[in-house]
Structure 1
Amino acid sequence: MDEMQRSFLTDLLSVSTPSGFETAGQRRWLSYVDEHADETRTDAYGNAVAIHEGPEESPSIAITGHGDEIGMMIRAITDEGYLQLSRIGGSDRTVTRGQHVTVHTDDGPVDGVIGQVAIHLRDSEDETYDEIAEQHVDIGVEEGDDARELVDIGDPVTLATEITDLADGRLAARGMDNRVGIWTAAEAFRRAVESDPDVTIYAVSTVQEELGLRGAEMVGFELDPDAVVAIDVTHATDHPDTPSIRGSDVELGSGPVVARGSANHPSLVDAVRTVAAESEFDLQLAAAGSRTGTDADAFYTARGGIPSLNVGIPNRYMHTPVEVIDRSDLDSAAALLAATAIRLDEFAPFGVDL
C-alpha cells in the first residue's frame, strides 16, 4: 500500500457515514475513482458507481462494497438537556458506554459523551448492559432548550475514535466495516482499468447495507451486470475470545476470504480461486451455508438472478470502536479482484451445468 492508497484509506476512515447519512464518504470515494473512470454516476439515495466501458457485448463485472457504517441517532431531548438514543444498524450496546461521540448536525459537529455511572456508585451485583435506547449523550448543556439550539431529533451520532497503527502493518479504527470494502473496490477498479481490458467493469459503493442490504437491492435492479463481487469484512477468528463454533478459520494477514455456498455462485468461486492459484495470491475459504450477511445476498436474487460472490476482508472485533485489519489483506484482495476482472472473458458467462 503506497502513500496515495494509504491516504485514501485514511480519508475514508476519517469521515462518518452512518446508514442514511453516507454523503461525505460517498463524495470522497467518487473523487478517487472518477479520474480512472469513463463515467461516474449516483442514484437518488447516494449509491455511487464508476464505469470502465468495454467493447459492446463484452462481459461485465461489478466490484462492490458498502459505504455505510453503524451508528446511533438522537430520538429525544430531555428537559435537562440529555440526548436519548436509538440505534442505526447493529450498534453494540456493550461498547457504547463511557465513549466520546460526535453528533452530526446540519450546522456542524457537536461533541459529547455517552454517560456511564461510576463504578463506585453502581450496584456490584448488577453488571448488565443497558440497551442503547436507555443510554444518553451528555453534551454539557444545562437545559433542554440549550440542547435544542445545538441539535435536532434525528441527527446521527457516531463514536469518536482515532485511526491507530498497530504492529506488523495492522490498523485499528471504527468503521473498518466497510470502508475497507469500498477501498478495495476502488483499488481493484483502478488497477484493472490501468490495463484497459476489453471488459466492462463497475466499481460500486452502496448505501444502507447495515439496514438490510437496501442499496444493493437498488443497484442490483438498475445495473444488471453479468457478475458481482461484494467485498465486506468477515470475522477473523484468530483472537482468544472467538467462540470455536462460530465462523470459519480466518486469520489476519492470510489473504482475502472467498465464501462458498448460498449466494456464492460456484462458477464465480472457481474463477476467483483459479486466478488466485495461477497468480499465487493468498486466499482463504469460508462456509456460507445459509447466507453471507452481505450485499451478495441482495445482488444474487436481483432481476432473474445475478451470479454473485462475497469476498471478505478479515476483521477482528467487528462492530466495535477498535476493529482491526491487516493492510496486506486489502492489497491482496484488490490485486486478486483486478486480475479476475481483467480475465473475465475467460470465465464468462457464468452458469450451472444441468
Structure 2
Amino acid sequence: MDETRRAFLDDLLNTPSPSGFEAAGQRVWTDYVAEFADSVSTDSYGNAVAVHEGSGDGPEIAFAGHADEIGFIVRDVTDDGFLRLSRVGGSDRTVSKGQHVTVHADDGDSPVHGVIGQTAIHLRDPSDEEYEEIAGQFVDVGATDADEAADLVEVGDPVTFASTVSDLHGSRVSARGMDNRVGTWAAAEGLRRAAEADVDATVYAVSTVQEEVGLKGAQMVGFDLDPDVAVAADVTHATDNPDIDKEKRGPVELGAGPVVGRGSANHPVVVDLARTAGDHADIDYQLQAAGSRTGTDADAFFTSRGGIPSLNVGIPNRYMHTPVEVVDTEDLVAVADLFGAMAERASEFAPFQVEV
C-alpha cells in the first residue's frame, strides 16, 4: 500500500465514528473521494455516496462499506462523578475493563480522557471472576463529584476506546474500528480504480451509517440509490489464530485475499462476476458459506425495493469487536483491485437475473 492510501486508512481509523455519531469520519471519507469522483453527496443521516458517471451503456454498481464502529454511550453520571455506560452496537464486556477511553463531548473539540475502572487483582475475590455487563461498568474521568463531571460530559455523549493504529510485522496492522473503516477504504479505492479506468458502468462508492445497530444506513441507501448491483465490503472472521475452533468455522486466512460469500443474500450472478473478475485479474480470493445471512449491509441491500442483486465481500480480520483488531493491508489492496476489476466487467454479466 502506497503512502497516500495508507495515510487515508490511518485518518479513517484515527477518527472516532461510533454508530449515530459518524459525521467526523464521513468528512474524512468524502474529502478523499472528492478528488476523483464526479460528484459526492450525503443524506439527512450522513450516508455518503460518491459517483463515477459511466458512459450510460453499462449497469450501475455500488461498492459499500459502513462508517460506524462499536462503542459506548454515557447513560448516567453518579453522585461521586463516575460515568455509567450503555453499549453502542456489539461492544464486548470481556475486553472493556482496564482500557483507556475517550468521551466525545458534545462540542466535539474537547474530548475527555478516561478509563474504564477495573478493581485491582489484589482486592478481587478470586471465586467471583465473572465479567460484568457493560451497564455495570463505569468510566473514571478524574472528577470528584457529579457537578465536576457535568462540566465535562453529559448523558448521550459517545465513548470509544482510545487505542490507535499500530504496525505489526510485515503488512499487518492493528487498530480499533477496523470493522469497518477498512470496508469504506476499499469502497473508495474501488471507485478510484474504476474512475482511472473510465469504465462504462456507473460506479458508486458508499459509506453507510449505523450498520452496527441494525444495517440502518444501508436500508436508506438501498432504497434511495436502487443500483443494479450492491456489493458490501465488511470484515469477516479470520480463523487462523490459535483459539478458533476450526471444526465450527470455515477456513479464512489473513493475507490470503478477499472472501467472496456464497448463499443467502449473495446473488449467484454477482458471485460469478466477482470470481471471473478475480480470476482474469489474477487476484487471489477465498470463498465463504453464508447459509442464512451475511451479517453485513448486503442483508439490507438485497431486500431493498424489489430486490437488489447483492454480494458480501469479506476482509479477513482477527479479534473482531476488540480494541486490537488485526488486518493485512495486502488484503485491503486486493479487495480494491477486485472492485475495480468487477466494475470493468460488470456489463458482461448484466442483467443480473437468476434463470428459472
In the superposition, the TM-score normalised over structure 1's length comes to 0.99
- Matching residue of 2:39: 39
Structure 1: unaligned runs, 5 residues or longer? none
Distance in 2 between residues matched to 1:174 and 1:128, nearest whole Å: 24
1:210 aligned counterpart, secondary structure? coil
- Matching residue of 1:228: 230
How many angstroms does 1:243 deviate by?
Answer: 2.1
Please, which moves more after superposition, 236-245 or 21-30? 236-245
Distance in 1 between residues matched to 2:164 and 2:347, nearest whole Å: 43
1:111 aligned counterpart, secondary structure? strand
What is the RMSD computed on CA atoms of the aligned residues? Answer: 0.8
CA contact (8 A) 2:258 2:335 kept: yes
- Matching residue of 1:78: 78
Distance in 2 between residues matched to 1:241 and 1:253, nearest whole Å: 18
Q: Is residue 132 of structure 1 aligned with residue 134 of structure 2?
A: yes
Alignment of 1:299-314 (within 5 A): 299-314=301-316
Distance in 2 between residues matched to 1:218 and 1:77, nearest whole Å: 34
Distance in 1 between residues matched to 2:314 and 2:223, nearest whole Å: 23
How many angstroms does 1:106 deviate by?
Answer: 2.0
- Runs of 4+ deviating beyond 6 Å: none
How many angstroms does 1:168 deviate by?
Answer: 1.7
CA contact (8 A) 2:58 2:346 kept: no
Distance in 1 between residues matched to 2:191 and 2:182, nearest whole Å: 14
- Matching residue of 2:7: 7
How many angstroms does 1:279 deviate by?
Answer: 1.5
CA contact (8 A) 2:52 2:204 kept: yes
How many angstroms does 1:57 deviate by?
Answer: 5.1
Distance in 2 between residues matched to 1:35 and 1:164, nearest whole Å: 27
- Matching residue of 2:69: 69
How many angstroms does 1:38 deviate by?
Answer: 1.0
Please, which moves more after superposition, 29-38 or 214-223? 29-38
Q: Is residue 162 of structure 1 aligned with residue 164 of structure 2?
A: yes
* Alpha-carbon displacement from aligned partner over 1:8-29 (angstroms, at most 9, x marks no partner): 0000000000000000110000
- Matching residue of 1:243: 245
1:13 aligned counterpart, secondary structure? helix
Distance in 2 between residues matched to 1:53 and 1:192, nearest whole Å: 10
Residue type at the aligned position of 1:119: I
- Matching residue of 1:179: 181
Q: Is residue 49 of structure 1 aligned with residue 49 of structure 2?
A: yes
How many angstroms does 1:246 deviate by?
Answer: 3.6
Pick from 133, 142, 145: which aligns with 2:144? 142
Q: Is residue 27 of structure 1 aligned with residue 31 of structure 2?
A: no
Residue type at the aligned position of 1:23: A
Distance in 2 between residues matched to 1:61 and 1:6, nearest whole Å: 25
Distance in 2 between residues matched to 1:186 and 1:247, nearest whole Å: 30
* Alpha-carbon displacement from aligned partner over 1:124-176 (angstroms, at most 9, x marks no partner): 01110000000000000111000001101000000100211001210000000
CA contact (8 A) 2:273 2:345 kept: no
How many angstroms does 1:55 deviate by?
Answer: 2.7
* Alpha-carbon displacement from aligned partner over 1:292-333 (angstroms, at most 9, x marks no partner): 000000000000000000000000000000000000000001
Residue type at the aligned position of 2:191: F
Structure 2: unaligned runs, 5 residues or longer? none
Distance in 2 between residues matched to 1:220 and 1:253, nearest whole Å: 31
* Alpha-carbon displacement from aligned partner over 1:60-80 (angstroms, at most 9, x marks no partner): 000000000000000000010
Pick from 285, 295, 306: which aligns with 2:287? 285
Distance in 2 between residues matched to 1:294 and 1:37, nearest whole Å: 25
Alignment coverage as a number of residue pairs: 354
Q: Percent identity?
A: 64
- Matching residue of 1:275: 277
Distance in 2 between residues matched to 1:57 and 1:145, nearest whole Å: 63
2:94 aligned counterpart, secondary structure? coil
In the superposition, the TM-score normalised over structure 2's length comes to 0.98
How many angstroms does 1:247 deviate by?
Answer: 2.8
1:342 aligned counterpart, secondary structure? helix
